[in-house]
């Protein structure tokens, strides 16, 4: 193998595949990046067995990619990437002799050990894949609005992912950690029905690849997700099992309702959280009396805080309800709207947060109250 390439172009591609590299892998060769050059094309692959990323660089004058000899090898991801980033020249030449990799850039001449590419696992193959066209903006919004409600506990693996239900020309994405729930429904082009759970860690890495992408294709089969981003392809395994039924958890009616400015409430929750976290009792309370809303924290050795907030469109009954203020702050950030509608049933039932004026469940955040007795 022998090729030369613009260092900045190679470094940019290495940053992409390094998203899939993890120090905690069962297969030692997966700490490396597979480098392949064939027919004026450079291909890099990184994987941690959960997700894999393949990206290509095609020869042209701007990238200065010149392939002199085809071949492939696996280089230590961290070591190889750091060498490329630190070279003083913007042109780098890479060649191999046996299992040795020679890297020349400017006045620097490195020789490092590699591994045979024959031992590197093959990329997943999707059988009978279902393809969905979606914009990068739509997918980013779906991830942003549901990612915070996934579980961080491995005791229920399915809840560490986001549930995608594709039917009736829409994508419904749902996440829950059993204390809160996020739901986002997005219209899409005609697609075959699908019901899959994608690991949240994979979606976080995928989100990082969407910045300069306009449109993309999602492909699902029973066990894998493939995302075609053009020169980059993203793979993730899917979580196995039946995700809990969540539609019934969202109340259809409410007994108390108000509208509030999202920025005002978020700032008040920041202040309430200072006291709640300092006391170790991460609980806040809404007290709604005669169209007046007071946000407070419980009395403790640290102290307490009370703030009266401005609300509008109040209807229904007076109510006191306790909740985790961090969950509500996350919900406000996820919805990302200027004004929000809050709807309650009782002090012991989950309450709903939606964008102001929303008449459906396309953007929903559900918060379970905290029992204080």
Q: Is 280 exposed, middle or buried (0-12, 13-18, 19+ CB in 10 A)?
A: exposed
Answer whether residue 291 shows pLDDT above 90: no
Distance CA 208, CA 107 (A): 34
Do 251-367 and 130-247 have the same topology in CATH? yes
pLDDT-based confidence at residue 51 (cuts at 50, 70, 90) = very high
How big is the CA angle at 172 (ends 169 and 174), to the nearest 5 degrees? 175
Looking at CATH, the fold of the domain delimited by 251-367 is given as DNA Polymerase III; Chain A, domain 2 (3.10.150)
Mean pLDDT for the chain overall? 93
At residue 139, the pLDDT reads 95
Cβ-contact 226, 238 below 8 angstroms: no
How big is the CA angle at 69 (ends 65 and 74), to the nearest 5 degrees? 85
Answer whether residue 316 shows pLDDT above 70: yes
DSSP state of 86: H
Looking at domain 2-119, its CATH architecture is Roll (3.10)
Cβ-contact 285, 371 below 8 angstroms: no
Give the number of other Cβ atoms within 10 Å of residue 293's Cβ: 20
pLDDT-based confidence at residue 371 (cuts at 50, 70, 90) = confident
Work out the average pLDDT over 321-341: 96
pLDDT-based confidence at residue 154 (cuts at 50, 70, 90) = confident
Longest Cα separation, the chain: 80
pLDDT-based confidence at residue 157 (cuts at 50, 70, 90) = very high
Answer whether residue 23 shows pLDDT above 80: no
Distance CA 195, CA 177 (A): 19
At residue 168, the pLDDT reads 83
Strand 306-309 and strand 292-297: pairing? antiparallel
Give whole-number Cα distances, 152 to 176, 184, 269, 323, 336, in Å. Answer: 10, 20, 23, 19, 23
Report the top-level CATH class of 130-247: alpha beta
Distance CA 349, CA 286 (A): 14
Question: Residue 55: how many CA atoms within 13 Å on its side-chain side?
Answer: 20
Answer whether residue 24 shows pLDDT above 90: no
At residue 98, the pLDDT reads 94
Answer whether residue 131 shows pLDDT above 90: no
Cβ-contact 193, 211 below 8 angstroms: no
* Two structure tokens written together for 28: 């030692």
Per domain, the residue ranges of the chain are: 2-119, 130-247, 251-367
Rg of the chain's alpha carbons, rounded to an integer? 25
pLDDT-based confidence at residue 373 (cuts at 50, 70, 90) = low
Work out the average pLDDT over 200-215: 94
Answer whether residue 193 shows pLDDT above 90: no
Lowest mean pLDDT among 15-29, 64-78, 95-109, 222-236: 15-29
Answer whether residue 218 shows pLDDT above 70: yes
Tokens 């309430």 map to which residue?
Answer: 272
């Amino acid at each position: 193998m022998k090729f030369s390439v613009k260092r900045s172009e190679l470094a940019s591609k290495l940053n992409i595949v390094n998203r899939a590299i993890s120090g905690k892998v069962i297969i030692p060769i997966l700490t490396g990046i597979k480098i392949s050059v064939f027919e004026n094309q450079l291909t890099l692959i990184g994987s941690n067995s959960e997700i894999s990323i393949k990206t290509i660089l095609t020869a042209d004058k701007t990238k200065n990619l010149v392939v002199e000899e085809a071949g492939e090898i696996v280089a230590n991801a961290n070591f190889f990437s750091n060498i490329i980033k630190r070279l003083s020249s913007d042109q780098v030449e890479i060649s191999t002799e046996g299992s040795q990799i020679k890297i020349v850039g400017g006045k620097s001449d490195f020789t490092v050990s590699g591994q045979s590419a024959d031992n590197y696992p093959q990329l997943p193959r999707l059988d009978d894949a279902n393809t969905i066209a979606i914009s990068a903006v739509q997918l980013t919004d779906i991830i942003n609005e549901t990612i915070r409600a996934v579980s961080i506990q491995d005791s229920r693996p399915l809840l560490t992912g986001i549930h995608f239900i594709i039917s009736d020309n829409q994508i419904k994405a749902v996440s829950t950690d059993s204390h809160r729930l996020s739901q986002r429904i997005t219209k899409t082009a005609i697609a075959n029905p699908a019901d899959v759970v994608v690991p949240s860690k994979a979606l976080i890495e995928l989100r990082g690849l969407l910045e300069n992408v306009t449109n993309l294709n999602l492909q699902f089969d029973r066990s894998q997700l493939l995302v075609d981003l053009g020169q980059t392809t993203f793979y993730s395994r899917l979580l196995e099992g039946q995700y809990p039924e969540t539609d019934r958890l969202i109340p259809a009616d409410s007994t108390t309702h108000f509208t509030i400015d999202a920025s005002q409430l978020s700032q008040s929750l920041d202040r309430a959280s200072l006291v709640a976290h300092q006391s170790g009792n991460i609980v806040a309370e809404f007290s709604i009396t005669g169209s007046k809303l007071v946000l407070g924290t419980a009395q403790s050795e640290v102290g307490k805080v009370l703030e009266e907030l401005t609300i509008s469109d109040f209807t229904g009954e007076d109510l006191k309800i306790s909740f985790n203020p961090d969950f509500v702050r996350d919900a406000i950030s996820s919805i990302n709207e200027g004004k929000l509608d809050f709807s309650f049933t009782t002090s012991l039932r989950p309450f709903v947060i939606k964008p102001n004026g929303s008449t459906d469940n396309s953007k929903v955040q559900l918060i379970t109250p905290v029992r204080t007795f």
